[in-house]
Amino acid sequence: MRVAFVTLIAVTVASVVASLAAEAPAPPGSGAKRSITFQNGANGYKGAVDLEIWDVAPNTCLEGNINASSDANNDGGESQVLVRFDDIIGTKPGQIPPKSAIHSATLIIGAFDQGTTVHLHRMLVPFKRTSTWNSLVGGVTADGLEASKKKDSFTFGKISASTSAIPFEVTDTVQKWANGDANHGWVFINTGGNGWDFYTSEFDKVKQRPKLVVEFTPPQK
């Protein structure tokens, strides 16, 4: 009788454990890891927006140029570059599902003229394709109001002899967007007077346009 009773308890405990395991939700991002690239002209994507704003031409919209310059002293006035990838979070094919676990996110820029150190800051306020230096109230300041005080990443401005592709690590920011924060893109702010120039999303060669590469795991349904 005692053996049968002990066996019954063991079976009951095993059943309860199995039941709890079946009912327990899977940890977030427990599915298969995926990779996706957002780049204008590639795989049907066309949501990238990039434009230069310039103190010397404070009311001129410079969106549409094939290149842009981040420079603390561009012909006597600062120029900044804003970049954004729209419609990257969502439930449609080709988007990152909300609440996904972002394993890595890299913004890759095709630079062609090296300069001084450039910082990349997450924008905290929206900008339009028609934005200008004045419409953004004297350019963008990384003050925690217009752009994050903390830089996402940076480049020394140098270009390698083997490649002009400059990577910026932006995983934390894309995770914030996946978690529900508004996606306002980034601003490039140069720390010196030697301009750092790169190709925009309007450049004729697709491979040299800015791109955002993300590895993620969708949330468990």
Model confidence pLDDT, tens digit, residues 171-213: 999 999 999 999 999 999 999 999 999 999 999 999 999 999 9
Q: What's the domain range around 148? A: 29-217
Does 17 fall in a domain? Answer: no
Does 153 fall in a domain? Answer: yes
Residues 6+ apart with CB under 8 A from 117: 154, 155, 156, 157, 190, 191, 192
CA 105 → CA 28, 37, 55, 96, 173, distances in Å? Answer: 18, 10, 31, 12, 9
Percent of the residues in the chain that have a pLDDT greater than 70, as a whole number: 85
CA–CA gap between residue 22 and residue 12 (Å, rounded)? 15
Tokens (6 digits) for 33? 């890891």
Does 13 fall in a domain? Answer: no
Does 3 fall in a domain? Answer: no
- Return the amino acid letter for 110: G
Burial of 32 (0-12, 13-18, 19+ CB in 10 A): exposed
Return left, alpha or beta for 67; rule: phi > 0 is left, psi -120 to 50 is alpha, else beta: beta
The full DSSP string for 81-128 is EEEEE-S-BSSSTTSBPTT-EEEEEEEEEEEEE--S-EEEEEESS---
Report the candidate in 153, 138, 143, 214 with the shortest Cα–Cα distance to residue 186.
Answer: 153
What is the predicted pLDDT for the residue at 9?
32
Does 45 fall in a domain? Answer: yes
How many structural domains does the chain have? Answer: 1
88-98 burial: b if 16+ Cβ within 10 Å, else e: bbeeeeeebbe
Residues 32-86 pLDDT 10s? 999 999 999 999 999 999 999 999 999 999 999 999 999 999 999 999 999 999 9
Q: What angle do CA 11, 14, 17 make, to 5 degrees?
A: 150
Does 103 fall in a domain? Answer: yes
Q: Are strands 101-113 and 118-123 parallel, antiparallel or unpaired?
A: unpaired
Does 24 fall in a domain? Answer: no
What is the predicted pLDDT for the residue at 221?
75
Does 21 fall in a domain? Answer: no
